[in-house]
Amino acid sequence: MSTTSAPEIDMERLESFGEKMVAIINNGMAANMISIGHQVGLFDTMAGLPGHATSQEIADAAGLDERYVREWLGAMTTAGIVDYDGGKGAYALPPEHAAMTTRAAGPNNFASYTQFITLCAGVEQELVDKFRNGGGVPYSSFTRFHEAMREVSGAVFDATLVDVTLPLVPGLTEPLESGI
């Protein structure tokens, strides 16, 4: 008969780890909502509105269903992405947040990268199976991978082609500037 005892639990460490786990779950869900907002253009729409706007005004400007926009705004407010003015019942995307969540941000649009989280989540059960049985998950399982990659890569190329990439080839930019 074994006489091993259960390890002693450090309650402070347990509570700290519990808080970390809750934050991971909350941040994961926020990332999902950021991806959705990016894909339907809500960040771009909000950045183009003057000041605070109601959920109906934002939905109308984006051409989206108000109920879903309202729920998305609640999630974005809770995540600290969007500001809410309770007196006006209206929302705003701070310019500092727009600088990292809109298509105008180019390669600094972190909202575009959140699409990869949901892409990976979409193949979770295939990965679980591969952990158990081996093998690989084909690109075809990542149904939007090429679309998302094209968007992210395109923003990088648009921002760097003329000033960074082309000058890497000796003598290339001079003929281009002279009009060939």
Q: Tell me how far CA of residue 13 lies from CA of 57, 77, 121, 135, in angstroms.
A: 46, 30, 29, 38
pTM of the model: 0.81
Q: For 103-119, what is the mean pLDDT?
A: 92
Pick 156 or 39 by higher pLDDT: 39
> Is the CB of residue 69 less than 8 Å from the CB of residue 55?
yes
Interatomic CA distance for residues 145 and 126, integer angstroms: 16
pLDDT digits (tens, 9 = 90+) for 17-62: 999 999 999 999 999 999 999 999 999 999 999 999 999 999 999 9
Given the structure tokens 């006489």, which residue do they identify?
3
Burial (CB count <10 Å: 0-12, 13-18, 19+), residue 31 = buried
Q: Of 17-21, 108-112, 118-122, 159-163, where does mean pLDDT reach its minimum? A: 159-163
Contact (Cβ atoms closer than 8 angstroms) between residue 65 and residue 2: no
